[in-house]
Amino acid sequence: MIEKEHWHPVALCASVADAPLAVELLEQPLVLWRDRLGAVQAWADQCPHRGARLSLGRVCEGRLECPYHGWQFDTRGQCVHVPALPDFVPPASHAARTYVCLEQYGLVWVRMAASHAAHAPTFPAFAAEADAQLRKLNCGPYDVATSAPRLVENFLDMAHFGFVHEHWLGSRDAAQMADYQVQNTPTGIRATGCRAMQPKSNLHSTTAAQVEYTYEVTAPYAAVLTKIPDPSSLPASVGAAGYRESIALFICPLGPERSRVWFRLAVADFASPDQTLRDFQHTIFTQDQPVLESQAPKRLPLDLRAEVHTAADKASSAYRRYLSQQAITFGVIP
Residues in the chain: 334
**C-alpha span between 219 and 242 (Å, rounded):** 28
Q: Which of residues 64-83 bind ligand FES (CB under 6 A)?
A: 66, 68-69, 71
E strand spans, 77-221: 79-81, 98-104, 107-111, 135-144, 181-185, 188-198, 209-219
Binding partner of residue 288 among Co ion, ligand FES, none, CB cut-off 5 to 8 Å per kind: Co ion
Is position 50 an interface residue for ligand FES (rule: CB under 6 A)? yes
Is position 153 an interface residue for Co ion (rule: CB under 5 A)? no
CB 228 within 8 A of CB 244: yes
**What minimum distance in Å lies between the beta carbon of 160 and Co ion?**
6
The residue (of 31 and 66) whose beta carbon lies closer to ligand FES is: 66
Contact pattern for ligand FES over residues 5 through 44, marking x by CB under 6 A:
----------------------------------------
**What minimum distance in Å lies between the beta carbon of 157 and Co ion?**
7
CB 148 within 8 A of CB 253: yes
Binding partner of residue 282 among ligand FES, Co ion, none, CB cut-off 5 to 8 Å per kind: none
**Size of residue set near Co ion by CB under 5 A:** 1
The residue (of 50 and 172) whose beta carbon lies closer to ligand FES is: 50
What element of type H or E holds 285? Answer: helix 274-294
In the chain the first and final C-alpha atoms are separated, in Å, by 15
| DSSP-assigned states of every residue in 184-232 | EETTEEEEEEEEEEESS-STT--S-EEEEEEEEEEETTEEEEEEEE-GG
CA distance to 79, 144, 211, 222, per residue, from 257 (Å): 35, 9, 32, 16
**C-alpha span between 139 and 112 (Å, rounded):** 25
Is position 288 an interface residue for Co ion (rule: CB under 5 A)? yes
Residue nearest to Co ion (CB): 288
Binding partner of residue 309 among Co ion, ligand FES, none, CB cut-off 5 to 8 Å per kind: none
**C-alpha span between 50 and 165 (Å, rounded):** 50
**What minimum distance in Å lies between the beta carbon of 309 and ligand FES?**
52
Q: Which stretch binds ligand FES (CB under 6 A): 19-27, 46-54, 97-105, 311-319?
A: 46-54
Contact residue for ligand FES among 1, 29, 44, 49 (CB under 6 A): 49
What element of type H or E holds 322? Answer: helix 314-326
The residue (of 66 and 194) whose beta carbon lies closer to Co ion is: 194
The residue (of 69 and 167) whose beta carbon lies closer to ligand FES is: 69
Residues that bind ligand FES (CB under 6 A): 47, 49-50, 52, 66, 68-69, 71
